[in-house]
């Protein structure tokens, strides 16, 4: 299957030689989080499909790109296969720190919406989507980016925002694979949770940035964050607004 994927990447003219070595190096960091070789192959094929120049990316087009006759294998990867997404996140974070880590870096929290048609996807609801610029049926994810001096940047963490209509309906949560221990959390609380993980992991940075959605600076002024990080950097908060930085 992998030879089919690699051949397809060359045919799509997506600069195979320019970044394949870096991709293989990065994937090697997360290969161990997949439960077996078959899951690992599907995981690699799925990532390559997402990075390809395939115009529309859904189960069928990604499966075709991977050389599969149906999307069943990739859907099993996402829904049932044994792999540890948190361990994958941690491995990516270590890779980013090793290659981009800088005490002057910025952690930036922001969200994005994923438009959906139905109501079965975890966290889907009619809510504001910055992607669409209006209220739409969508999922919303909160992400933490690492921006190093010189312009290098990478995503190092993520949390799915669950509206209260979801967390108040535990049966619906269970059907979507959301554990009973997952309670409602605001977007600023999700951002603070991710920043806390970065501090605990020893990620070097000097600034935390977020737009007005994430509220006043007090959101990130928890004693734990300041005390844990004070020895290695100056802990600041930058509030972005539509009028510029203030």
pLDDT tens track for 53-108: 888 888 899 999 888 999 998 888 888 888 888 999 999 999 999 999 999 999 99
CA distance 20 to 208: 32
Give residue 122's pLDDT. Answer: 93
Q: Which two tokens stand for residue 137?
A: 């049926």
CB 126 within 8 Å of CB 166: no
Other CB atoms within a 10 A radius of the CB of residue 61 amount to: 15
Q: What is the three-class DSSP state of 239? A: strand
**pLDDT of 26 over the 70 cut:** yes
Per-residue pLDDT band for 215 (boundaries 50, 70, 90) equals: low
CA distance 129 to 95: 30
| The model's pTM | 0.79
Delimit the domains of the chain by residue range. Answer: 2-79, 85-245
pLDDT tens track for 84-99: 889 999 999 999 999 9
Helix (H) or strand (E) holding 107: strand 106-115
Among 179, 214, 176, CA closest to 195: 214
Q: What b/e sequence results for 150-175 when a residue is b if at least 16 CB atoms lie within 10 Å of its CB, and e otherwise?
A: eeeeeebbebbbbeeebbeeeeebee
Give residue 4's pLDDT. Answer: 40
% of the chain with per-residue pLDDT over 90:
51
């Amino acid at each position: 299957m992998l030879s089919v994927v690699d051949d397809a990447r060359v045919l799509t003219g997506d600069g195979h030689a320019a970044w394949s070595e870096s991709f293989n190096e990065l994937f090697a960091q997360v290969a161990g989080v997949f439960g077996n070789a078959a899951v690992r192959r599907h995981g690699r094929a799925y990532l390559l499909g997402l990075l390809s120049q395939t115009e529309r990316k859904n189960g069928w087009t990604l499966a075709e790109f991977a050389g599969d006759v149906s999307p069943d294998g990739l859907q099993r990867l996402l829904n049932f296969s044994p792999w540890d997404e948190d361990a994958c996140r941690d491995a990516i974070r270590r890779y980013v720190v090793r290659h981009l880590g800088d005490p002057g870096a910025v952690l930036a929290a922001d969200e994005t919406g994923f438009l959906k048609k139905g109501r079965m996807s975890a966290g889907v609801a009619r809510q504001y989507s910055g992607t669409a610029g209006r209220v739409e049926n969508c999922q919303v994810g909160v992400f933490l980016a690492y921006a190093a001096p010189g312009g290098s940047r990478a995503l190092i963490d993520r949390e799915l925002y669950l509206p209260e209509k979801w967390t108040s309906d535990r049966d619906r949560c269970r059907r979507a694979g959301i554990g009973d221990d997952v309670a409602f959390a605001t977007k600023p609380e999700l951002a603070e949770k991710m920043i806390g993980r970065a501090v605990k992991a020893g990620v070097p940075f000097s600034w935390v940035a977020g737009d007005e959605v994430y509220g006043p600076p007090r959101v990130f002024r928890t004693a734990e964050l300041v005390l844990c990080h004070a020895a290695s950097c100056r802990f600041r908060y930058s509030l972005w607004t539509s009028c510029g930085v203030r």
